[in-house]
Amino acid sequence: MATVDTTFSRRRVLRNELIGLYGVVERNLYLTKRYFLWDVAFLLWTIANTLTIVFISRGVDLAPAARNELATKLLVGGVIWAFLGIIFEIVTETVAWERWEGTIEYTFMAPVSRPVHLIGMGVYAVLYGLVRAALIFVAVVAFIGIHLPHANYGAAIALLAIASISFIGVGMMTAVLPLISPEKGTQLGFVAQGLMLVVSGVYYPVSVLPSWMQWIAKISPATYALRGNRDQILLGAGLRFSDVWPLLVIGVLSIPIGLLVFRAGERYAKQHGKLKRSG
Amino acid sequence: MLSQQAVVVRDLSKVFTRRKGLFHRRRRSALKGVSFTMDRGECVAILGQNGSGKSTLVRLLSTLLLPDGGTAHVFGHDVFKDARAVRRLVNRVSVEASFFKKMSAAENLAYAARFYGMGPRETHTKIPVILERVGFPASRRNESMENLSRGMQQKVALARALLTSPVLLLLDEPTTGLDPRSKQEVQNFIREIRVRHDSTILLCTHDMNEAEDLADRIGLLDRGELLFLEPVQEVKDRYGVETLEEAFFAATGRTFEDEKSEEDEEREVFA
């Protein structure tokens, strides 16, 4: 009887992993296409939500220039909130959506590595999130009439992309929650998003926070993304090293920690039979 | 290079625990020291009621569960220590044809195929061929899965499994809930796989006729214990009976349709 050869060369393994990563992005594109109108509705809701925040600047008795500055700061906070929300949502869907559809067992028994699977979700989340953030930004600026004569959009997008490495890492940690609790795990991801932003000065400077929260702000990637993006949009600042290096350090640490946390969660799920369909 | 034995399972055990109240946990054994082997190219059917441990066995061999004891090897690879190698060799069709409902059959198959290293060019040619082979109409290839009947969905599930050319195919009640015609079509396709592919098949079912019709050997899994695994005639000779229903009664003291105990119900839910 002949034997079966399953030894794969490194090159073939790498090729298969890249195709797997492409497959994750492609699947998300299919889903976005199929749920396009729902996504449009959700985008409108996010724009309305951001407007409710930015309109606060119109109710404050300030000189026009100061009011414009406040509106911009609130807008950057609102857009980053929305960007982070979509990244956490998509990465958390790695488990939650597949579990609901019942495909999770097929995906988790496929020979693609978990880092590639999760990073594929992260890549799509960042691309989709950036397009969505740009649309929200443009819509709110046009609606309220904010003047941004010095804005450095290229640097702002680049900084957001660098910050995304850390956001994906944290997203991986929250993605494991639906494995542990199918019913409530996804919502806990939103808790993580809220906690990260509240210490990062989403609509206010970090300096107004109690000192213990300011310490936590130092390890939150959103702190540097918010600070840098505000200066880039208001003052036309470039990519500052003081914003980039903390984001890179947090990113380099958060991805492996995220993968470790996910691996531990997957192991727990396999021990307790929680990879089954639910919904 | 791999062992010539397709599957080697030794003393495989799985216990599920669930919280009962704040301080108590219930433990139910889904598999109790199950051992068996399968030769390459063989089709083995495992019979058992709901909650007998069939799906747990399939999930363990699919690398979706970790055991509480024992070992399992697929073509020489340790299922639990060398899971990635095993995943390249195995695919599965389960009772629920699970797909992204809004996506089409072609899109779902492409997604599954990417994880096995098949690029767009390859799937562009292979997907239409495999769908045609399972009798799926070409005109419905791009229709959402949610618009397809259960029988059609199960055909796509078979296509998904075969697209990746698995050398071990795990079929977990693939015909349960299908109408007679769809059931016949799926069974015919399983026969065709046996003839045309180099696949070893583990078929878990509670349909005794299906098991007798398709398998080389039949095993009976009852409350987590594998009571026998033999060619069907040897099973009948051993118990001196004419049918597998009678063999089940002789082996367990219960009929196949007997009401399940509370423990059986719990085992079914846990597993």
- The answer, yes or no, to whether residue A1 has pLDDT greater than 50, is no
Answer whether B117 sits within 8 Å of A5, measured CB to CB: no
Say if residues A179 and A195 touch (Cβ distance below 8 Å): no
**Cα of A129 to nearest chain B Cα, Å:** 22
Q: Do A34 and B144 touch (CB under 8 A)?
A: yes
Q: What percent of chain B has pLDDT over 90?
A: 59
Among A125-134, A208-217, B169-178, the minimum mean pLDDT is found in B169-178
Contact B130/B163 with Cβ under 8 angstroms? yes
Residue A13: partners with Cβ closer than 8 Å, 6 or more residues away = none
Bridge partner residues of B25 (DSSP): B19
Contact B36, B51 (CB under 8 A): no
Cα(A190)–Cα(B75) distance, rounded to whole angstroms? 44
To the nearest whole angstrom, how far is the Cα of B247 from the nearest Cα of chain A? 31
Q: Is the pLDDT of residue B1 over 60?
A: no
Contact A226, A76 (CB under 8 A): yes
Residues in A touching B41 (Cβ below 8 Å): 1
Calculate how close chain B gets to A119, using CA atoms only, in Å.
14
Q: Interior CA angle at A84 toward A82 and A89, to 5°?
A: 95
Cβ contact A270–B84 (<8 Å): no
- Within chain A, residue ranges assigned H as helices are 10-34, 36-54, 64-101, 104-108, 114-144, 153-175, 177-180, 185-198, 211-218, 221-235, 241-272
Q: Is the pLDDT of residue A4 over 60?
A: no
Mean pLDDT of B93-122: 93
* Residue-wise pLDDT tens digits, B131-154: 998 888 989 999 999 999 988 998
First and final CA of chain A: distance in angstroms? 44
Nearest by CB: B100 against A1, A103, A267:
A103
Q: Work out the average pLDDT over A231-254.
A: 95
Say whether B87 sits in a helix, a strand or coil: helix
| Cα(A23)–Cα(B111) distance, integer angstroms | 6
Chain A residues within an 8 Å CB radius of B98 = 101-103, 105-106, 277
B5-B9-B10 Cα angle (round to 5) = 125
Tens of pLDDT, residues B3-36: 579 999 999 999 988 777 777 777 889 999 999 9
Strand partners, A176: none
For residues B264 and B271, what is the distance between their CA atoms, to the nearest angstrom?
10
Q: What pLDDT, on a 0 to 100 scale, did the predictor assign at position A3?
A: 44
- Give the tokens for residue B128: 């239409």
Extract long-range pairs of B139-142: CB within 8 Å, 24+ residues apart: B140/B105, B141/B104, B141/B105, B141/B106, B142/B104, B142/B105, B142/B106, B142/B107
Residue-wise pLDDT for B224-250, tens only, equals 999 999 999 999 999 999 988 888 888
- State the nearest Cα–Cα gap between B84 and chain A, in angstroms: 5
- Per mean pLDDT, which range of A27-36, A73-82, A92-101, A218-227 is the poorest? A92-101
Nearest CA in chain B to A114: B84
> Looking at residues B202-224, what average pLDDT do you find?
92
Residue B242 phi/psi, 5-degree rounding, is -95, -30
Inform me whether the pLDDT recorded for A156 exceeds 70.
Answer: yes
Q: By CA distance, what is A97's nearest residue in B?
A: B100
Q: Where are the domains of chain A?
A: 11-272
pLDDT at A2 over 50: no
CA distance B228 to chain A (A): 26
Closest listed residue to residue B47, CA positions, set B238, B261, B181, B230: B230
User: Does the pLDDT value for residue A193 go beyond 60?
Assistant: yes
If you average pLDDT over residues A47-75, what whole number do you get?
94
Of A7, A15, A105, the CB nearest to B64: A105
Give chain B's count of helices (H) and strands (E): 10, 10
CA A70 to the chain's CA centroid: 25
Residue A262 CB burial class (10 angstroms; 0-12, 13-18, ≥19): buried
Taken in order of first residue, the domains within chain B and their CATH numbers are 5-270 (3.40.50.300)
Q: Give B107's contacts in chain A (Cβ within 8 Å).
A: 27, 30
Which of A14-28, A44-58, B63-77, B181-195 is predicted with the least confidence, judged by mean pLDDT?
Answer: B181-195
Amino acid code (one letter) for A111 = P
**More reliable by pLDDT, A187 or A109:** A109
* Smallest CA–CA distance from B122 into chain A, residue: A19
